[in-house]
């Protein structure tokens, strides 16, 4: 045992406890990949709360350190694939790459640790689980907002395979997180008050499952034919002119192979600034769109004028029969990959990323009409890459759009992360977005996972990863809005803040 400030046994941190919490964090992150990972995470979390609640005699700082150990284990296991993009693809030094993954994990762990302080701050009682869950929700919300946000690897995404997925259409992923934390805390308390905790847990899970009987959106119009093209091009070839030319040719030829109501290629499938693409390429595809009555969505690099300078954008261009091209520029950019935070030029130089300071599109861009020609519009909300991580932003876009949204489309390129769990993690996030909005989703990716999702978040069709293939299918659009689209995160955040205020007032009376 070691002591940071005194030699008193009751004020020391047990290194075994640190290791146990680190391992538990890692296991909880790993179990998210299991078929029933959302169920398995809950009892594992209860072990973490049981261990932490036995250390409430420690000072707040030392308790905070224990929370950091838990969070570090969780995020190092869950985000290790960033090493692939930094070292294997970006060419960064091994030590710097490891350090970058560790520092990001440590930053993410801060939020977990702050939330865990609820156990230490509030006197343990029958309502401590509510305070812990409320603190976790507020912490997770802030993790998705501060410094542009990075809410990846929240507990909500694993609930796609867990008991609380049906809550998402009502109150969103943060509400799922609330019930995961509360339930896991109550499991840890079963020995102390087995009857009350058991009844509470069973009741909450039963109500959650009953919530799944409600639907808020319904089929709209006739199914449309869709082709999702997965090129499977290595990220390392993106800077090779010959490879770029071959990639452009591949996608152009695949698009023209067969007509469909909607044809989609991935993010930056044309990995070259739009004005530098082969002469006549866009017109060539527009002619095919006109003749075949196909809507085509292209992932490429756009260009915009910022004062007198040209800036690049991560862009989706939509081509429709005899119609001016549609354009969507990615609004929520990736720090370091797409924009450079102030003072971090040195990091980007070490990363060797070209065109890493993109311009951002607005959050009020129009949806893309993917309906067959002369039929009732079917409007698709476009997201690029990790924009579909931000459920509140997507719900806000749909809520504030003057026309109803009927479909979600995400184009992405996860070749940066090699053969890791990153594609599966983003697939679960896309599933959560479909659940929250009650809308089907199309995912067109470079190396995977290309998939069609139902309005209930289920995977309807999927392509194997790291294969060059096309997914051809029929997709049913939906209309309507879920409570989450109408209300966003306001209800669960309001409840959580009120609980924390109550907890603080209650704490002061003791």
User: Which pLDDT tens digit goes with each residue over 445-504?
Assistant: 999 899 999 999 999 999 999 999 999 999 999 999 999 999 999 999 999 999 999 988
| Residue 332 or 454, more confident | 454
| Residue 9 or 43, more confident | 43
pLDDT of res. 341: 62
pLDDT tens per residue across span 371-426: 998 899 999 999 999 899 999 999 999 999 988 999 999 999 988 888 889 999 99
% of the chain beyond a pLDDT of 70: 92
Helices (H), 258-406: 281-292, 345-351, 391-400
pLDDT tens per residue across span 185-207: 999 999 888 898 999 999 999 99
pLDDT above 60 (res 356): no
Instruction: Tell me the CB-side half-sphere exposure of residue 355, using CA atoms within 13 A.
Output: 16
Report for 101-105, 356-360, 406-410, 412-416: range of highest mean pLDDT: 406-410
pLDDT above 70 (res 345): no
Q: Taking Cα atoms as reference points, which of 265, 250, 245 lies closest to residue 384?
A: 265
- CA 198, chain centre distance (Å): 32
Mean pLDDT of 426-443: 97
| Residue 56 or 465, more confident | 465
How far is the C-alpha of 276 from the C-alpha of 252, rounded, in Å? Answer: 16
85: three-class secondary structure by DSSP: helix
pLDDT of res. 89: 78
How far is the C-alpha of 375 from the C-alpha of 242, rounded, in Å? Answer: 41
Q: Please, what sign has the CA dihedral across residues 36, 385, 84, 115? A: negative
In 10 A of CB 257, how many CB atoms? 12
pLDDT of res. 158: 95
pLDDT of res. 4: 41
Residue position matching structure tokens 């146990």:
20
pLDDT of res. 337: 65
The backbone torsions φ and ψ at residue 400, rounded to the nearest 5 degrees and listed phi first, read -90, -5
pLDDT above 80 (res 308): no
Boundaries of CATH 3.60.110.10 in the chain?
218-481
The backbone torsions φ and ψ at residue 336, rounded to the nearest 5 degrees and listed phi first, read 75, -35
Q: Let me know if 338 is a catalytic residue.
A: no
pLDDT of res. 342: 58
DSSP 334: P
pLDDT of res. 2: 40
Instruction: Tell me the pairing of strands 326-329 and 309-319.
Output: antiparallel
Considering the candidates 157, 176, 254, 330, report the single residue annotated as catalytic. 330
pLDDT above 50 (res 140): yes
Would you place residue 1 in the very low, low, confident or very high pLDDT band (cuts 50, 70, 90)? very low
Considering the candidates 157, 254, 267, 338, report the single residue annotated as catalytic. 267
Q: Let me know if 238 is a catalytic residue.
A: no
pLDDT above 50 (res 74): yes
| Residue 86 or 467, more confident | 467
Mean pLDDT of 68-82: 95
Q: Taking Cα atoms as reference points, which of 194, 195, 154, 149 lies closest to residue 178?
A: 154
The backbone torsions φ and ψ at residue 9, rounded to the nearest 5 degrees and listed phi first, read -60, -40
Do 140 and 489 touch, CB atoms closer than 8 A? no
| Residue 236 or 163, more confident | 163
Q: Let me know if 436 is a catalytic residue.
A: no
Pick the CATH number of 218-481 from 3.40.50.920, 3.30.420.10, 1.20.1050.10, 3.60.110.10: 3.60.110.10
Binning the chain into helix, strand and coil, the percentages to the nearest 5 are 50, 15, 30
Considering the candidates 385, 387, 393, 481, report the single residue annotated as catalytic. 385
Q: What is the mean pLDDT of the chain?
A: 90
Would you place residue 54 in the very low, low, confident or very high pLDDT band (cuts 50, 70, 90)? confident
Range in 25-39, 153-167, 227-241, 417-431 with the lowest mean pLDDT: 227-241
């Amino acid at each position: 045992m070691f002591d940071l400030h005194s030699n008193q046994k009751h004020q020391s941190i047990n290194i075994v406890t640190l290791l146990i919490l680190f391992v538990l964090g890692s296991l909880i992150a790993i179990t998210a990949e299991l078929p029933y990972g959302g169920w398995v995470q809950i009892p594992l979390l209860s072990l973490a709360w049981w261990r932490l609640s036995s250390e409430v005699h420690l000072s707040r700082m030392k308790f905070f350190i224990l929370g950091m150990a838990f969070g570090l284990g969780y995020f190092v296991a869950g985000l290790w694939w960033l090493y692939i993009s930094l070292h294997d693809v970006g060419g960064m030094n091994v030590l710097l790459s490891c350090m970058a993954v560790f520092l990001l994990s440590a930053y993410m762990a801060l939020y977990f640790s702050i939330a865990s302080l609820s156990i230490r701050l509030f006197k343990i009682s029958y309502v401590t689980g509510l305070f812990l869950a409320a603190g976790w929700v507020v912490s997770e919300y802030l993790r998705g907002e501060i410094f542009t946000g990075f809410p990846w690897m929240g507990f909500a995404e694993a609930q796609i395979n867990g008991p609380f997925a049906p809550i998402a259409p009502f109150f969103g992923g943060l509400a799922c997180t609330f019930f995961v934390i509360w339930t896991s805390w109550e499991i840890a308390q079963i020995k102390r008050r087995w009857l009350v905790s058991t009844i509470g847990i069973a009741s909450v899970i039963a109500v959650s499952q009953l919530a799944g009987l409600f639907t808020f959106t319904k089929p709209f119009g006739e199914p449309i034919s869709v082709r999702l093209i997965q090129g499977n091009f290595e990220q390392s070839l993106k800077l090779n002119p010959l490879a770029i030319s071959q990639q452009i040719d591949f996608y152009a030829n695949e698009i023209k192979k067969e007509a469909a109501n909607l044809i989609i290629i991935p993010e930056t499938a044309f990995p070259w600034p739009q004005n530098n693409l082969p002469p006549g390429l866009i017109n060539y595809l527009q002619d095919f769109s006109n003749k075949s009555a196909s809507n085509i969505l292209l992932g490429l690099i756009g260009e915009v004028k910022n004062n007198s300078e040209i800036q690049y954008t991560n862009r989706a261009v939509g081509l429709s029969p005899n119609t001016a091209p549609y354009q969507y520029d990615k609004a929520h950019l990736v720090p370091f990959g797409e924009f450079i935070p102030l003072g971090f030029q040195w990091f980007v130089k070490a990363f060797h990323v070209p065109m890493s300071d993109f311009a951002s599109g607005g959050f009020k861009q129009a949806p893309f009409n993917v309906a067959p020609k002369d039929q009732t519009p079917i409007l698709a909300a476009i997201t690029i890459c990790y924009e579909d991580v931000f459920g509140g932003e997507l719900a806000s876009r749909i809520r504030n759009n003057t026309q109803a949204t009927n479909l979600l489309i995400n184009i992405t390129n996860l070749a940066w992360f090699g053969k890791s769990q990153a594609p599966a993690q983003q697939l679960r996030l896309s599933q959560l977005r479909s659940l929250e909005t009650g809308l089907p989703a199309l995912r067109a990716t470079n190396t995977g996972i290309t998939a069609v999702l139902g309005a209930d978040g289920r995977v309807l069709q999927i392509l194997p990863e790291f294969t060059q293939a096309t997914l051809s299918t029929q997709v049913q659009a939906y209309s309507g809005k879920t409570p989450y689209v109408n209300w966003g995160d306001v209800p669960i955040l309001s409840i959580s803040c009120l609980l924390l205020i109550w907890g603080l007032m209650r704490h002061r009376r003791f």
